[in-house]
Amino acid sequence: MTSLVQHVFWLLLALLGAFALGSVALAQGETVNALWIVIAAVSIYLVAYRYYALFIAARAMQLNPLRPTPAVRRNDGLDYVPTNRYVLFGHHFAAIAGAGPLVGPVLAAQMGYLPGMLWIIVGVVLAGAVQDFMVLFVSTRRDGRSLGELVREEMGYWPGVIALFGAFLIMVIILAVLALIVVKALAESPWGTFTVVATIPIAIAMGLWMRFVQPGRIGLVSVAGFVLLLLAIVFGEDVAASPRWGPLFTLDGVQLTWLLVGYGFVASVLPVWLLLAPRDYLSTFLKIGAIVALALGILILAPDLRMPALTRFTDGSGPVWAGALFPFLFITIACGAVSGFHALISSGTTPKLLDNEKNMPLIGYGGMLMESFVAIMALVAACIIDPGVYFAMNSPAALIGTTAESAAAAVSQWGFVVTPELLTQTAKEVGEATIISRAGGAPTLAVGMAHIFSALSGGGTAMMAFWYHFAILFEALFILTAVDAGTRAGRFMLQDLLGTFVPALKHTGSWTANVLATALCVGAWGYFLYQGVVDPLGGINTFWPLFGISNQMLAAVALMLATVVLFKLKRERYAWVTLLPTAWLLVCTLTAGWQKLFHADPRVGFLTHAAKFQAAIERNEVLAPAKSIAEMRRIVFNDYVDAVLTALFIAVVVSMLVFSVRACLRALRHDRPTARETPFEPADRISTGSVGRGV
Amino acid sequence: MANELSTLLRTLRQAAYLLVGLPDYDAYVAHMRRAHPQRPVMSRAEFFRNRQAARYGEGNGRCC
């Protein structure tokens, strides 16, 4: 009887979610309150968790609370530590949530709020959360091994090498795109640049303090660092206005690119305690704090959405990024709906901290639901600002010009009426010289967050500029941390890969090998960053889809691994759980990859674009934005590089598909499970810690 | 009541530390005392440095 009552509660919750979704989807021509989106998302998340996640746990995974986890079996107080589930939830969430779920939905808003919202909600329930959860399961049952090792063990040596190679390429593209977002946000913005530069000495001071004065205590020093950050934002206004210092911090995109590349190299060879770790602490606490504040802000203010449910750009003619709704929407919103990168986290530290298998759904599935909620909030923040302002901020200068007048005229012509005065006034409110063509998502999100926070703090528009730069700083801070940490991780991956061919390069203790691998890694993402910055369409236009394709392909690889494991466990009757999202991701990424290569529209297809410029070179004609034939040649060359990269992604994912199908067929021929799980050891045979090998 | 409050504060502190990848020092010490009484135990500073190096060491990716 009580269970019936419980089901009735969940049924009511499901109905509430359906009703909210209906009100959002069917509201024609009337404004919709953002709360409906939040209610729809949260109720669907809860119902999905209660039924789908627990179904997967009970049937496909057959989780066993009596089976000791790696944290229990190998407890060493360091890497393997049984951890309270809520504490671990926080750790896992902080590791998976980055710039991705904040930027993708903002860019996707060009098609209206509805497509993005539906994909975020449906995607996370059926694909993203399933992936994180399954990888956590597979890794936990194998002593917390990493994705690369898992692929190698369950599928073979070469699939392992190919997966590692794919992961490295993805890392390069992610770093380039993240750095590009920072460049776009800071270009010609002395206030923003000053505050971001100021984080370096602040972090170093914190690092020195934590190293030598109070080792192991991070609370007070983080609070002090945070206060200094706020002071940097406050004084940034005066620095920007100062005739002496203002010009010093007013940098264009190319200058910022060189600074970032130099920074990436230096920062990733410095000892971690000096800059990386302390800034990581600041950025993590700031990130969690800002996300909580944004959630509270949306709940309290309950703003109306001003973006229409659907815009005319669903046909692929959009200015923010090129390509039609299918497949490019599902590429643009990667993190937040499904993100392959999470497979690296779910097979990283998290499985080594899990205290009991029964907590796996909360961490694996629940953690990703939380990230999806962040994506929903980013979508809301982008859709509550004036659509005219949104398009002026996110369209490239090649389409809307560089003045408020030309931008307002172009955007109004698309049907989003906006006046030049509104554009200049918005720029003034947020303390910037201009807000036109600031693609990349971060500035748009910052305007949205500034609206919410300044309304909350009651300062009216007086506080807008402060909150805008706070939001920019918050994003730049954790992007820079990701660039720094990513360059290190990329360097290790590269050394591992190159070591397959030249064993000497594998020695991470060798200074030459390290510097060489770091330089290669920085050079690789720096090349794409530079290309993005000088791109007349703003770079984001080209690279965000490439990032999305690669990230979703990694997700497909992780889900294929999970499918292989289900087959090897002889549980193929539940394999649809992973096959469904795998199939969808393969359809989307392969279609998108194919279109990026061969689409007839030069805005979408790399090869068509190259052919167009090549033809012009042969006619000795210079096409805008190039100013000389030499620049035209460079554009053609870059197109070919992008095309080769896309082709490599496709090759990686197709070969992984072949290996997976073979592994599944082989598993089917066996009449007993062939998965290589760590054998079950009853808890009473583990005398706390002594079983742990090589502590 | 005071007891529950201190447990709550302790959990919150553990959560904040683990957000940035630092496991609980007290739990480490307790584990060492219980499981390996004969082995030396790192000081808080050593433990902190060891964990910092491990977090940003080999193969630890971070998300986008």
- Cα(A684)–Cα(B30) distance, rounded to whole angstroms? 20
pLDDT at B58: 54
Q: Closest Cα to residue A526, out of A476, A471, A486?
A: A486
* DSSP reduced 3-state for A604: coil
Residue A693: pLDDT over 60: no
Q: Closest Cα to residue A563, out of A49, A127, A66?
A: A127
A vs B, Cβ pairs < 8 A, gives: 145
In chain A, what percentage of residues exceed pLDDT 70?
A: 98
Rounded to the nearest 5°, which phi and psi values hold at A309?
Answer: -60, -45
Task: Answer yes or no: are the C-beta atoms of B63 and A98 closer than 8 Å.
Answer: yes
List residues bridging with A354 in a β-sheet.
Answer: A83
Q: Mark yes or no for CB contact B31/A492 under 8 Å.
A: no
pLDDT tens-digit map of A98-117: 888 999 999 999 999 999 99
The mean-pLDDT minimum among A313-327, A477-491, A603-617 falls in A477-491
List all residues of chain B from 11 to 50 with a beta carbon under 8 Å from chain A: 11, 13-25, 27-32, 34-36, 44-45, 47-50
* Distance in Å, alpha carbon of B54 to nearest chain A alpha carbon: 9
Q: Mark yes or no for CB contact B19/A284 under 8 Å.
A: yes
Which class for A616: exposed (0-12), middle (13-18), buried (19 or more C-beta within 10 A)? middle
In chain A, what percentage of residues exceed pLDDT 90?
A: 74
Residue B59: pLDDT over 60: no
pLDDT at A591: 97
Residue A299 structure tokens: 């709940």
Residue A627: pLDDT over 90: no
The residue whose two tokens read 């087959």 is: A567
Instruction: Report how many helices (DSSP H) and strands (DSSP E) chain B contains, helices first.
Output: 3, 0
End-to-end Cα, chain A, rounded Å: 50
Q: Mark yes or no for CB contact A492/B58 under 8 Å.
A: yes
pLDDT at A689: 42
Instruction: Report how many helices (DSSP H) and strands (DSSP E) chain A contains, helices first.
Output: 29, 0
- HSE on the CB side for A464, CA within 13 Å? 16
- Cα(A552)–Cα(A340) distance, rounded to whole angstroms? 6
In sequence order, which ranges of A187-218 are alpha helices (DSSP H)?
190-208
pLDDT tens-digit map of A403-436: 999 999 999 999 999 999 999 999 999 999 999 9
Cis upstream peptide for B40 (omega within 30°): no
If one compares A685 and A552, the residue with the highest pLDDT of the two is A552
Predicted ipTM?
0.91
Say yes or no: B54 contacts chain A, CB-CB below 8 A. yes
* DSSP reduced 3-state for A33: strand
pLDDT at A686: 60
pLDDT band of A1, cuts 50, 70, 90: low
Which class for A12: exposed (0-12), middle (13-18), buried (19 or more C-beta within 10 A)? exposed
- Cα(A486)–Cα(A87) distance, rounded to whole angstroms? 25
- Cα(A334)–Cα(A100) distance, rounded to whole angstroms? 7
Q: At what angle do helices A367-383 and A34-48 cross, to 10 degrees?
A: 170
Cis upstream peptide for A682 (omega within 30°): no
Residues 6+ apart with CB under 8 A from A605: A595, A596, A597, A598, A599
User: Which residues of A are less than 8 Å from B33 in CB distance?
Assistant: none
Predicted TM-score (pTM) of the model is 0.94
Residue type, A588: C
Q: C-alpha angle with apex A58: A52 to A64, nearest 5 degrees?
A: 140
pLDDT tens-digit map of A146-165: 898 899 999 999 999 898 88
Which helix (H) or strand (E) segment is A632 a member of? helix A629-669
Say yes or no: B10 contacts chain A, CB-CB below 8 A. no
Closest Cβ–Cβ partner in A87, A219, A690 for B15: A87
pLDDT tens-digit map of A527-539: 999 999 988 777 8
pLDDT tens-digit map of A14-71: 999 999 998 888 877 778 999 999 999 999 999 999 999 999 999 999 999 999 999 9
* Distance in Å, alpha carbon of A351 to nearest chain B alpha carbon: 13
